[in-house]
Structure 1
Amino acid sequence: MTPVTAPRDQRESVAALLDLLTHVEAHPQQPAAYKLVSPSGDVIDLPESVFLLLERIIEVLASGDAITVVPVGKELTTQQAANILNVSRQYLVRLLNDGRIPFRKIGTHRRVRMEDLLAYKRQRDRDRIASLDDLSQLSQDFDGYDEIPNEG
């Protein structure tokens, strides 16, 4: 589960690839046939599911972010799960013990399914957005903040 990012010297090529993919999507009237060409010139048809995954990977890399591909059914250690949520392992263990994220124990070790972790993360993100919307609405209801005088 090592994150991959495009090195600075490859970002221009990744961006050009993303532009090419955007062009393909902009012309849906043309039937798309995705192919992969090896260095020796061998050509193989690329299934659409693989193309869609590559497209998403290129999108993330072009934005300058790192990406990790993990099978959905994979079980994670508590440290791996904490890293994905960007929280401490101790905080994650508290979430598990409170029943907020399902897990199973193998001996004394907890394992978290990737799909359960991602479901928790999506819900957490929705809750955060709703809280920010509520806070923004409260600010508007009470006429927001006073204007800061311009001292110029």
Structure 2
Amino acid sequence: MSTPTVHRHGPDGLEEAEAAARALRHVKKYLAEHEGEDMITATAEGGEKEELLLPRGAVELLATVLAHMAAGRAVSVVPAHAELTTQQAADLLNVSRPFLIGLLNSGEIEYRTVGTHRRVRAESLLDYRRRDDQARREAADELTALNQEMGLI
């Protein structure tokens, strides 16, 4: 399987972030007004009006991308079934490549080898991130409970 391109885009300045915020308001309003619809009709305006039929999931994903861009954050889009290089996987987790290699070697994240190279499924990476986030939340809750027991809060 060939290594997919990781599509990464962030707003190029304040003007693009503001445009994303305006578009997000329209998309959210449309989704709220058409709650039961599985397919969304978008109209492109230009010389001629052209209608485009989109799956609701794609429009909801667009709303998520717009929200991040409006906040000034870059967004990466990777298919869930994609196999990533160790560098791409490290970049998506925002960790160093050596740290990621440690996670792979310890069995925290599933991977396969292609020749001498490791390939990480994006799905495995997201599973690890979910488990890690859950563990962090539980640790924070435990610390909060201990602080309350000790009367520090």
Unaligned runs of 5+ in 1: 146-152
Aligned-residue sequence identity (percent) comes to: 35
1:20 to 16, 23, 26: 26
Please name the residue that 2:3 is paired with. none
Q: C-alpha distance in 2, partners of 1:44/1:62? A: 26
Q: C-alpha distance in 2, partners of 1:87/1:35? A: 38
1:101 to 94, 100, 109: 109
Q: Deviations over 1:112-134 (max 9, x none)?
A: 00000000001101100110110
Please name the residue that 1:112 is paired with. 120
Q: Is the 8 A contact 2:11 2:69 kept in 1?
A: yes
Q: Is the 8 A contact 2:28 2:63 kept in 1?
A: no
Q: C-alpha distance in 2, partners of 1:94/1:29? A: 45
1:63 aligns with 2:68: no
Q: C-alpha distance in 1, partners of 2:131/2:43? A: 37
- Superposed displacement of residue 94, structure 1: 1.1
The TM-score, its normalising length taken from structure 2, stands at: 0.84
Q: Which one has the largest radius of gyration?
A: 1
CA distance 1:33–1:72, change in 2 (3 Å)? closer
Please name the residue that 1:132 is paired with. 140
Q: C-alpha distance in 2, partners of 1:43/1:134? A: 55
- Superposed displacement of residue 42, structure 1: 5.0
1:34 aligns with 2:44: no
Q: Deviations over 1:54-106 (max 9, x none)?
A: 22211221122110111111101111111111111111111111111110001
Please name the residue that 1:5 is paired with. 10
Q: C-alpha distance in 2, partners of 1:29/1:76? A: 35
Please name the residue that 2:51 is paired with. 44
Q: C-alpha distance in 2, partners of 1:109/1:45? A: 42
- Superposed displacement of residue 12, structure 1: 1.8
Higher relative contact order (CA 8 A, sep 6+): 2
